[in-house]
Every structure is written in structure tokens, then in C-alpha cells.
Chains A and B, each alone.
Chain A
Amino acid sequence: MLWLLLFTPLLGSALCGALHFAALRAGSAHGDDDQGHDSHGPDSRGEPGHRNGDWKNLAGLVACAAMALALGLSAWTWLTLFRAPLTLALESSAWHWIDAGSFSIELTLVADRLSSVMLLVITGVGFLIHVYSLGYMESDPGKAKFFAYLNLFVFAMLVLVLSSNLLGLFVGWEGVGLCSYLLIGFWYQKGWPAEAAQKAFVVNRIGDACFLLGSFLLLRLFGTLDLSAIAGANFHQLGAKSGEIALAALLLFGGACGKSAQFPLFTWLPDAMAGPTPVSALIHAATMVTAGVYLVLRLNPLFAAAPAVLFAIGCVGALTALIGASTALLQRDIKKVLAYSTVSQLGYMFLGLSAGAWSAALFHLVTHAFFKGLLFLGSGSVIHGMHDEQDMYKMGGLRRAMPRTYWTFCAGAAALSGLPLLSGFFSKDEILARNFAAGGFHVLLWVVGVFTAALTAFYTWRMVALTFHGEPRYDASHVHPHESPAVMTVPLVILAVLSLAGGLLNLPHVSPLWASGLEHWLEPVTRAGDEILWRAGEHGAAPHLADGAEWLLLGFGACLAAFFAHRGYHGYKHGHARDQALENGQPRLAAFLREAWKIDRAYTERVVAPLNEGARVLASEVDQRGIDGLVNGAGSLARALGMRLRALSDGQVKGYAIWMGAGAAGLSLLWMVL
């Protein structure tokens, strides 16, 4: 059954790819018809072109059908686990992949409670985004290819969350990276999407290199890459190897930094917005970028056994959250705001992991998939309605033209900014509260988290105000904003409901009803990590705050979010004058924030440029002049021989045969002499 779940999107992808090439051939046949058979009249000529379009439409339906089936199977998986005892996991038959002699890699598909949550998010949000794409990509000539890539992505993502083995996980890990590359560069003819795609792949590869090294170290430590074996290892007895364990955890986190866009490897994600917006929603917000969080969750005992690394994760998470949120404050491009916001929210997830709040990180992952998916799709609807305009300075007042988009977007924004009782409020609060409870240096991280939460509320409502409120700033004679078709708005509405109500999944432990649902659900997966932390006496001793403190923090968070959301909305409801004011008053600060603390520029100037320059110098000076120069010096001695050779190479087989014969004779002569 799991194999069926896995291969449904792969099959869908293959079918869409076949339809794409079928449509291509029909298209070129159509072109031939144009030239060759003009006399047939317009009717017969129109036909192949029509079929061509039909095939592409069919591709979209095939992709959606595959996703619907995958969603059904995921739901079935979840239901089976729900009815079963705690520790049960569904397992498929094994696939014998690599036998290296000293170790071997067996791939099994395993769906436990953690995977089942991921499955539902991937196929659920994925299905909605597929449906939305039917409308969004309606008029794109490459839509069959688009759906082929999108389904392939889901396949790779399923491999990632279902694999029982770290190397199998890596197959999905790089597979989603490949699909991300293909989809960011989907509009490759424009040039810059192709560059963004390459940047995404290469930066991810840096993380992947760390991942590989981490896996070698795990092989050395455990002799296997089986995830349950590593998670179930007796870390207590491995105390002597704590250095190696910490290094392995750190290297794996390096991989997570690449995939989940954490400092210092986050710079690819904002550029990745060059892809079509549904891609940004699915891959660069809801699913792929959370793979790093999943990895840490999956191996939570390993990370729990390396408290220093766990704390480093928190620092990286908090720093990334801060960089992302402060950069989002001044963006003009609506998708860039959301991209930096995603970077920032992923930072929160790692912040949660760092405090041992495993379920809180997963909780935020799920709610973030809802509201950020919604916001991206909403921005796509805006871009669609504005004829590909992404600059918020050229929007304004859109709420009248696209009411459904507006209201759903507001729901997503409210959830993101952590307005009380919505999904983002509960998930963010849980992460912050656990950091607060952990004490020590985690309180510092908590401070950064709270500050970032204020920034988040501010930039979110700035975005809403700039886009939907105030007077229109676009040229109304050329641009006629319009609401998107139902195929796009219905997914928005569903996601809006989920964003509003998603908090019910895991209400705070002080809640009188349905408290800590997800936390209990996840317990079999996180118990090992919790126990290690508890033994170390780091955080496990008091996982939750006292009731009073919890209520206090909840109230504080609610007030903070509401206040800064109001400030953000109020400051920008009449346009972007405030940005201008900051630009004029503090130009260096404004540039610093707008360019994400100038980190990307530093990479370009300090790393990429010197590397390219170094490669050129190496090729021209060291290789050509140095090594090859020596060779050519020796070669000029033999120039005379070379001239002879030219006389030889006259194409006369007889001549070659004589020389070969002479060579053979010389050889045998040599033997006789010896």
C-alpha cells in the first residue's frame, strides 16, 4: 500500500511528461501542416492544435487525480495508525539497494506517526495547490511539463518522509532539490529564473555535502544508516564518543541549513521566488523547506545526545528568524516579503527543536504549511489578477476588486502574525514558551523570538495594507484587477479555514479541551529524545511552564501581536510613505535591511567572485603556463619527431601498417637481444 502511495505521483508525473512530449509533437506536426497543406482550409488545420491543448489540459487533470489518490491513501495510512496501538508503524517490503561489503543499504517504506502527519500535509496541501495550479497555469504553454515536475516533486517528498534509511531519505532530499531546481527555472527563457535555480541547487549542494559527511560519520559510529536503529541506539553507553556524535549531528544540521534555508545558507530561498507562485507555495513554503525540521525530528535522540549542537541550532534558528523578519520589513515585492517571512518562520521551527519542543516544531510546521501556503497562493491570485505585477508599491486598494482573495489573505496574515486563537498564535507561543521554560541561555533566544514575533506582525499587516488598502497606485487605464476563478479561490477558502482553526491540533496544555493533541500523538517518536534530555537534566525536567506563567505568556503574545499588527496596518494603509521616510532618514540602515543584512552580496563578492577568478588563474597560469609549459618544453625537444609524424599521418593505410609492423619487429628484436 505504501509503495502504491509512493508511486502514484511518480506515475502521474510520467504520464504528464508523456503528454507534454505528445503535445510537442502534435505542435510541430501542426507547424508542418501550416506550411505543407494550406489548401485544407482552416478547419482541418485547427484540429491538431486543439488536440495539443487538450493533451495539456488532460495533464493537469491526471496530476490532480494522482494527488487525490495519494491524499486518500495518506488519510487511510493515518486512520490505520490512529486505530492502532501507540508504537505501530506501517512497513513495506524491503528493497535491497547497495551492498558495500562493510555496510549495506536496505530501503523500506515506513509510515509511523511522524510520517503520517507529514504525509497528510504533503498530499493535502499539495492537492489543493495542484487544483489551484489548474487555474494559475491555465494559459502557460508548458503546463503539462509543469504538472509533471510538480508530481515528481511530491514523489520525491514522499520518498523523503517514508524512507527507513538515511540514504533513502537523502534520495528524496536531493530529489526535491532537483524538482525545486527545475521549477524555479521553469520560465528559463527569461534568464534570471535559470540563475536562481542554479543558485538554489548549488547552495543546497553545500548543505548536502555536510549531510554526506554526517552520514559517513554515522556509519562509523553505528555501522548502519537505518533511521530507527540510529534513533534507538543507546546513547547513554556511547558517552565516550560524544564528540563524534556531536560532529555528526552538526553536519546533518548543516544539511538541514541548506534545505531549510537557515543562516548561513538561506540566500537561495528569496531568489527561488523566480518560479511560478504555486511552486513557491508548495515547495518553498509548505513542504520541501521543512525537510530539515523533519530530519532533526526524525533523529531527535541523536540531537538530544548533543546538547551543544542543540543549542547551536537554537542560535542559528533565532538569528535566521531575526534576519528574515527584519528583511521582510522593507521589501517591495510581495513574494519577497513572503519568502523572507518563510526563512524567518523556519527559524522558529529550529528554535523549537533547540528547546526539545519536538512536537511544537512539528505543530508550527503544519500550521505554517496552512497559512504560508495560503498567503503564497493568495499573492499568486493577486499577481494573476494584476497581470504579473509583484511590486506592492504599484498595488493598493485591491480589496474591492478581489474580495475573496482579500478575505482569505487576511485570514492567512492573521495566523502568521499570531493574532489570538488562530493557528500561528498557538504554534508560535508553544515554541516561545518552551524556550522560556528551558531557562538559561534559552531565555535569550526567547527574547529574540519575541522581538521577531513583533516584527512579524508588523511586516505582515504592512503587506496587507500596501496590497489591499488605500488608493490604487497602478495605472487603472492599463491594469484591470480581477478576482481569480473558482478553481483558484476554493483552495484559498479551504486553506483559510485550516489557518484559522489549525490551532485545535495542539492547544496549549492549560486548555480545558483537547489539550496537547499533537504532542500526545507524537509521543512514541519523541520519547527517546525526551528521555535523553531528561537524564541530562537540560530541559526535560520541566517541559511545561506552570499554568499561571503559561497564561501570562499567552496573554503577552496576544497583546504584542495585536499591537504590532495594528501599527503595521496603520502605518501603510495610505501607501508607502513611511518606507520613503526611512530611506531618506537612514539610507544605510534601509539598504542593510532591504538586502538581508548584505549577506548575499558578501557571498558574491567574497566567495563566488574569488572562486571564479581563482579558477581562471589556475587554468591559465598554473595549468597552461606551469604544468603544460613544462610539458611543451619537453615537447619542443621532440619537435623534429613531431614533424616526422606529420609526414606519416597521410591517411595511407599501407604506411601505418608498415610502421606497426616495424614496431612489432623492433619489439621482438628487443626480446631476442634480452
Chain B
Amino acid sequence: MLALLCFLPLAGALLLLCLPRASDAVLRLVALGVTLVVAGLGLALFLGFDGELPGFQAEFVREWFALAGPDGTIPVRLHLGLDGVSLLLVALTALLMPLVVLSSYGHVHTRVKEFLLWLLVMETGMLGVFLALDLVLFYFFWELSLVPLYFLVGIWGGERRLYATIKFFLYTVAGSLVMLVAVIALIWKLGSASVPDLFLHTAALEPTTQAWIFAAFALAFAIKVPLLPFHTWLADAHTEAPTSGSVLLAGVLLKMGTYGLLRFGIQLFPAMAIDAAPVFLALGAFGIVYGALLAMAQDDLKRLIACSSVSHLGFVVLGLFALNSAGLRGAVLQMINHGLSTGLLFLLVGMVYERTHTRQLERYGGLAAVMPVFALFFVFTVLSSVGLPGLNGFVGEYLILAGTFEVSPAWATLGVSGVVLGAVYLLTATRRMLFGPVVHAENRKLADLGAREVGLMLPLVALSVWIGVQPSVLLDKCAPALERILERVEDARFDARLANPAAEDVQLR
């Protein structure tokens, strides 16, 4: 099942390769069909998943090849499996893909075949990242998911696409190389590449070794998230990417970073995560405010949303490193929420760009009168993004901030200020775009959204409401997995106390 889910898009890509490029319609239909089947599989997986179990389910294991290790060979396996956290991200990816393919009808008219091919390759890469339970396999999928994006941005992107591509490339290569070193070191030290095995043995490593490997992983993931000082690739990549690329970048690729922090940062090295938590809390909280301030200063709508991603992902990092139930649940939920709402925002920006060929806010103005349906969807999405209670964003933000408050009221307070700033920049953008008189004559005759555009957004809108009203649908699935991660954290805390009773004394006093 998992192997089918994971490699079906790749097979679809190969199929596309064999098809003649003559008929775009056929190519699009094939791509849509493949992604729809994958989405169906994802849904089946979601429904069939036993939310009571904390461990990995539906595992798929095949021998792949063997590496030479210090004590004999180390087998590398095609090992896929998922727990509650990966389940949600896999479901999100599977859901977004057909919508992305559908949205590309509107803006991709050249080299359609290559475009769809890269999309499908990317889907396998992204699904694989969330499913891989073998470190080498994880690294393979990690790289596989990045390559297509270089091309999506570099070929189908905007005016400054080369600059954006190179920047993105350099950033991610830097992260990847550091992670590669960490992967090699970890496998060499522990003699296994299997993730469940590694979980059992990392605590036995020297603390300094742990620290170095953790730091390397954390750096790679922090670039991907992106965390505060490593964020400058994001705005450029987003701004220049075609709509489909932006949706996937915001919706899924950034979550690879936060997923990595959770799985290979916190779960693999709980002791290190406890030590590093203050740093990450600070970076997350500052990221929230910093991203929001950046967004306030933007005149390019797409760049504004890209900056808002820095702010929103700051929330996720804050929740992750609160290292408690509320924080972790909120963080995982917020990963999904951000995928939905920012995905929707990028889709909407793409739609208005297809009509006006500009993303500058001052070139819009008064669009609500011309495109009422568009305005309805845009305002809805903005509300979901600013965390209006009753919609999805609120539940995630509330859990994250409540969890953070338990460990650090100061950082929670800084995070809460992001709630205010979020309303400032998103409502300002809404006002400048939709309200007031129609100042530009060329905007007077814009066509409102068509059935395809409304249809492809409806699933996301429905999910936003559903999660807002009944978040337990998702929370119940991932809670046991998160509690298991927290048990590891608690164990590490306990060990640290045993090792250093003096500190315990100080705390008690």
C-alpha cells in the first residue's frame, strides 16, 4: 500500500515521459488521474489508520543494498511506514497534488509535459520524505523532492527566476551537505540505517557526538523551515515560483523541515532537543514577529504571503520546542493548517495574477466589486490565516501558544503579539486589494472565478472549517504518536536529573 502510494507518482512520471507531447489535454488528464488515485489512496490510508496505536503502521520493508560499516555490512532497506504525524502530512500532500495539477491549467502553457513530469517526481519525493524509515532512503527522497523545484522555479518562474533558483539551490545544497555528513556519521557510529533502530540507540552515544549530529540535522531542517536567519531564500523562491510551485513549497516542502525537526531532531535526540529548546523557542518567537514585520513592509502580494510563512512557521517551531502535549499537537495541526490556508492564498494570488498580470498591491484596488466570488474566498482564507476561532488556524495557534506559555510565558507573549501583527498585514493587503474604489480602468472588466477555480478551492475551504470545528479528527490520529515522542523526552529529562542531581536540588529550591 505505502509503496504503491509512494512510487505511483514516479510511475506516472515515467508514463508521461513515454507519451507524445502533442496533446496537452491528454498529458494533463494523465497527471490529474495519477494524483487523484494517489489522493484516493491517501484518503483510504487516513481512514484505515488506527489512531489508538502510537507506533509505525502499514510498514513496507525490502532489502535494497548494503553498506560497509565498522562491524560488517550495514543493510539499507526500502523501509516505509507511518505514524500519526506522517499520516497527516502524507494526507495533506496527497490532497494538495490534484489541486496543484488542476491549478496549473491556468498558468502553465509551455512545456506542459516537463512541468507535469517534475510535479509527479516531486510528489514521490515528498511522500517518501514523510514515509521513509531508513535514513539513507530518507536522504534520497529529501534530495529527490528538491531537484524538481529547481526546475519548476528556474523554467516556469517569474522574471528574476534565475537569481531565485541559484539562491534556493545554494541554501539547500548547504543544508543537504551538512545533513549528509550527519547521516553518514550516525550510520557509521550506530551501525544501522533503520530509523526505529536508531531511536533505540542514540541515547548511548557520547553527548558531544549527539550534539554535533543534532546540530547538523537541525541546521539542515532550519534552512528548510525556514528559521530566522536562514529565511532569505524563501521570499525570492516564492515570488518567482509559478503558482503550483508556491503552493507545494508552502504547503508541503516547508513542512519537511518541521517534520524533520520533530522526527530527527526531537524524537531521535530528545536530550539534545531539551538543551537546545531555549534557542529554538527564541528563534521561533522572533521569527513570528520578524516575519510579520517583513510582511507589513511588502508591496508585492506574493512576497507578503511568503514573509507570512516565516511568521507562521515560527509558530510551528515554537510549538515543537515547547516539548509538551499542547505545543506538539498544535505544531502538527498548524503544519496542516498552514498548508491549507497558505496553499489557498497562493492559489488565489495565482488566479488574480492570471487576470491582471501583476502582483503589486497598488495595481489592484476595489476588486471586491468586480470579483465578488474571488473576494469571498480571499477574505475567508485571510480569516483562516489570521486564526479566527471556528476556522482551522485558531486551534493550532491556541494550542501552540498555550503549550509555550506552560514553559515560557515570555516567548508566548511575544508569540501572541504575532496574532495582532498577522491581522495587520493580512487585513491591510485585503483592503488594498479588494476594497475602495476601482482605481485602475483595466481592472473594471476582470472575470470572476470560474467553476474549475472554485471547485479546486472548495475541498480546502471545507477542510478549514471542518478542522476549526472538529479538530479532534486530526488530533486524535496524531496524539498517540506525539505522546510517544514526549515519553522519550521525559525519559531524557529523567536521565539528565539522574546524571546531575545537583541541578535537581537547585530546581527544587
Contacts and interface: CB of A to CB of B under 8 A. Distances in A.
B61 interface: no
B151 A101 contact: no
B17 interface: yes
A100 B151 contact: no
Contacts of B290: 618
List of 8 A-B pairs having minimum Cβ-Cβ separation, nearest first: A101-B325, A194-B435, A619-B297, A216-B405, A188-B435, A191-B436, A171-B389, A615-B296
Contacts of B166: 635, 638, 641-642, 645
A130 to B, nearest CB: 23
A239 interface: no
Interface in A617-658: 618-620, 623, 627-628, 631-632, 634-635, 638, 641-642, 645-646, 649, 651, 653, 656
Interface string B437-480: 11000000000000000000000000000000111100110010
B420 A198 contact: no
Given A178-B388, A631-B167, A663-B143, A185 B398 contact: no
Nearest to A637: B170
B114 interface: yes
Interface string A161-196: 000000100110111001000000100111100110
Interface stretch (A199-207, A229-237, A312-320): A199-207
Nearest to B469: A97
B395 interface: yes
B111 A98 contact: no
Contacts of A178: 383, 388
Most chain A beta-carbon contacts within 10 A, residue among B150, B398, B399: B398
B420 A674 contact: no
A206 B424 CA distance: 11
Interface secondary structure of A, over-half rule: helix
B372 interface: yes
Interface in B313-356: 324-326, 329-330
A670 B184 CA distance: 10
B154 A612 contact: no
B20 interface: no
B188 interface: yes
Interface in A652-670: 653, 656, 660, 663, 670
B162 A195 contact: no
Given A174-B389, A627-B232, A651-B155, A100 B329 contact: yes
B360 to A, nearest CB: 15
Contacts, number: 180
B49 to A, nearest CB: 18
Interface secondary structure of B, over-half rule: helix
Contacts of A209: 416-417, 419-420
A212 B416 contact: yes
13 contacts: A101-B326, A167-B398, A173-B389, A198-B427, A202-B423, A205-B423, A213-B413, A215-B402, A216-B402, A627-B229, A642-B166, A645-B154, A653-B17
Q: How large is the interface on A (under 10, 10 to 19, 20 to 34, 35 or more residues)?
A: 35 or more
Interface in B401-419: 401-403, 405-406, 409, 412-413, 416-417, 419
Nearest to A170: B389
Interface of A: 21, 24, 96-103, 167, 170-171, 173-175, 178, 185, 188-191, 194-195, 197-198, 201-202, 205-206, 208-209, 212-213, 215-217, 219-220, 611-612, 614-616, 618-620, 623, 627-628, 631-632, 634-635, 638, 641-642, 645-646, 649, 651, 653, 656, 660, 663, 670-672, 674
B412 A216 contact: yes
A216 B436 CA distance: 38
Contacts of B475: 98-99
B294 A195 contact: no
A656 B117 CA distance: 12
B232 A623 contact: yes
Nearest to B228: A627
Given A102-B325, A188-B434, A618-B290, A212 B401 contact: yes
Contacts of A206: 420
Interface string B233-271: 100000000000000000000000000000000000000
B167 A619 contact: no
B479 A99 contact: yes
B490 to A, nearest CB: 13
A161 to B, nearest CB: 15
B413 A671 contact: no
Given A24-B372, A195-B431, A201-B427, A100 B325 contact: yes
Contacts of B423: 201-202, 205
B498 to A, nearest CB: 25
